[in-house]
Structure 1
Amino acid sequence: MLTRQVIRTAVEAALEEDAPNGDITCETTIPAEVHGTARLVSRQEGVMSGIAVFEAAFAAQNPTIRVLATIKDGERFEAGQTLAEVEGSVRDLLTAERVALNFAQRMCGIATMTAAFVKAADEAVETTDYRKPRTYARTRIVDTRKTTPGLRPFEKYAVTCGGGHNHRYGLSDAVMVKDNHLAALAEQGIDMAGAIRHIREQVGHTTHIEVEVDRLEQIKAALEGGADTIMLDNFSLEDTRKGVDLIAGNAIVEASGNMTLERIPQVAATGVDVISVGALTHSVSSIDLGLDWN
């Protein structure tokens, strides 16, 4: 969760990393009493995410710095648009500038990429072979745990700003049984259905259980075990449709593996409930933002 404490801890650590012994350039060139204003300006179009983090970076450097945002998280912006105005000590503004921009640029990049994937999934409705998902009103685009270490709260929040949804936050939040887990259980003589039932006996009744399958033949056992979600990993489009039919609404259907913008409409048209996309966080490009001085 992207709480105020999480934001404060992260920006303070980033400022400490960037200026552990102060900003010697500002301290030797700019008098302490000089005040100024600047504008956060977009160099390209995108989706906003991280305004609160941008503000917190300046506040952590100097609580008297004033930030006036002209956009909210989740809103789209155009190239050349002013997204916020900052006012305060020029020394402190310049010292915190890079940290504030680093967070905002990456978070906007994730939100913007997510929005593109969400739009692509929605375009499936226009295809001739579209099938509506059974669990949700439309196919959801979700993230994965392929996040930057230490920045997961920021990156997962940015996904939601782009209209996506979050997969489990971490290993403590839900059960996800993958091939390696199944292989370990198989050595103990426990098959997939038995493994799911074994897990169900040990966890609380609110704990969600997801099982990854890599071939159609495994779906029957996943259903017999009572999986809440069945992930179709690297399935072809034809097998994805067959998988959706076999599951028949008895579990949430998630498609995963090699998800590109070009493939998303086709995958969404198969009727899957969820498409997980690791690229949202592990292969994103930051949005070009700059601080222009008045």
Structure 2
Amino acid sequence: MEETGLNLKEVDFIIDHAFREDIGSGDITSNSLIPESTTAKASMTAKADGVIAGLPIARKVFEKLDSNLIWKPIVKDGDRVKKGDLIVEIEASFRALLTGERLALNLLQRLSGIATETAKYVKEVEGTKVKILDTRKTVPGLRTFDKYAVKMGGGTNHRIGLFDLAMIKDNHIKIAGGISKAVLQVRQAIPADIKIEVETTTLEEVAQAADAGADIIMLDNMSNEMMTEAVKLINGRCLVEASGNMNIARLKGVAATGIDVISVGALTHSVIALDISQNICQI
């Protein structure tokens, strides 16, 4: 599963936790009605147009319940589907198909929703140098899944957490006594290969961050006109990120300011799940 960009141990950990929550001591309904040896065939179908993400995770859900699972994907993660398209055919224990159905669908629908929304944003900046980034506004415990889905939609991952990129914000600047001091203190404290980003809200702060040697400068909640001026001030000295209330309608105008990346919290914090159904085809 590592070739998909998903860490197998992480996938196992998340699914096992979800099983504890959902299955607990066992699926009392299915186990009471269905003989253990009964097998069945099922299929998953798209009920809306979108981009698929999470198939390897859904497969793992069923594999944990039936190691003899037969999984026949019709599409792969990152593929676009139309309403009515067949996504995957499955053959497994009837109990496994029913017990794992909700978890598999919950994850597949959520991740496909993220991939679908991300693809819309990516399409808006097509033909420009701008990349669409995600944020830390993810469901706690599902960040690696959410960020994987962003990649499947054509987006780019921002920092994973508080440990892999230094983000200096207003409260950090206040306690350090200014942007220059904050950048210097952080640079002295962290490994040289970790980048430093500074959040700015004014052109004065932009100039200070650029002069201090920031690797990335975030232009937070700025107008397009102010962002254009900020890009001129920075003059290629670092990567420039636009952030704050970014939506589809703004993207082309923001991209035209000369910034490099746009971060969008809505990709993961306001997910509309892609409608996908599972149906038993044969018992």
Runs of 4+ in 1 over 4 A off after TM superposition: none
2:163 is aligned with 1:176: no
In the alignment, which residue of structure 2 is the partner of 1:81?
85
Aligned-pair distance for 1:72? Answer: 1.2
In the alignment, which residue of structure 2 is the partner of 1:111?
115
2: distance between equivalents of 1:246 and 1:91?
63
2:152 is aligned with 1:164: no
2: distance between equivalents of 1:279 and 1:178?
20
1: distance between equivalents of 2:186 and 2:23?
48
1: distance between equivalents of 2:185 and 2:34?
66
Per-residue CA shift, 1:74-100, capped at 9, x if unaligned? 111111111111101111110011111
Alignment of 1:1-294 (within 5 A): 2-122=6-126, 138-186=129-177, 191-294=178-281
Does the aligned pair in 2 maintain the 1:193–1:225 contact within 8 Å?
yes
Does the aligned pair in 2 maintain the 1:195–1:225 contact within 8 Å?
no
Structure 1, unaligned stretches of length 5 or more?
Answer: 126-131, 133-137
Aligned-pair distance for 1:6? Answer: 0.9
Does 196-205 or 76-85 show the bigger shift?
Answer: 196-205
Per-residue CA shift, 1:44-67, capped at 9, x if unaligned? 011111111010000111212221
Secondary structure, counterpart of 1:99 in structure 2: helix
The aligned amino acid for 2:28 is: I
Does the aligned pair in 2 maintain the 1:234–1:256 contact within 8 Å?
yes
Does 108-117 or 8-17 show the bigger shift?
Answer: 8-17
Secondary structure, counterpart of 2:35 in structure 1: coil
Does 157-166 or 259-268 show the bigger shift?
Answer: 259-268
Give the fraction of aligned pairs with identical amino acids, expressed as a percent: 43
Does the aligned pair in 1 maintain the 2:134–2:157 contact within 8 Å?
yes
Cα root mean square deviation, aligned:
1.2
1: distance between equivalents of 2:260 and 2:214?
15
Per-residue CA shift, 1:272-291, capped at 9, x if unaligned? 10000001110011100011
1: distance between equivalents of 2:168 and 2:224?
23
Per-residue CA shift, 1:143-202, capped at 9, x if unaligned? 00111000000000000000000000010101110001111112xxxx211221222222
The aligned amino acid for 1:111 is: A
The aligned amino acid for 1:289 is: I
Does the aligned pair in 2 maintain the 1:39–1:293 contact within 8 Å?
yes
Aligned-pair distance for 1:31? Answer: 2.1
1: distance between equivalents of 2:78 and 2:266?
19
Secondary structure, counterpart of 1:119 in structure 2: helix
Secondary structure, counterpart of 1:286 in structure 2: coil
Aligned-pair distance for 1:271? Answer: 1.2
In the alignment, which residue of structure 2 is the partner of 1:129?
none
Secondary structure, counterpart of 1:87 in structure 2: strand
Does the aligned pair in 2 maintain the 1:40–1:292 contact within 8 Å?
yes
2: distance between equivalents of 1:92 and 1:220?
59
The aligned amino acid for 2:73 is: A
Secondary structure, counterpart of 2:175 in structure 1: helix
1: distance between equivalents of 2:167 and 2:209?
12
Q: TM-score, normalization: structure 1?
A: 0.92
Secondary structure, counterpart of 1:262 in structure 2: helix
2: distance between equivalents of 1:247 and 1:69?
48
Does the aligned pair in 2 maintain the 1:65–1:88 contact within 8 Å?
yes
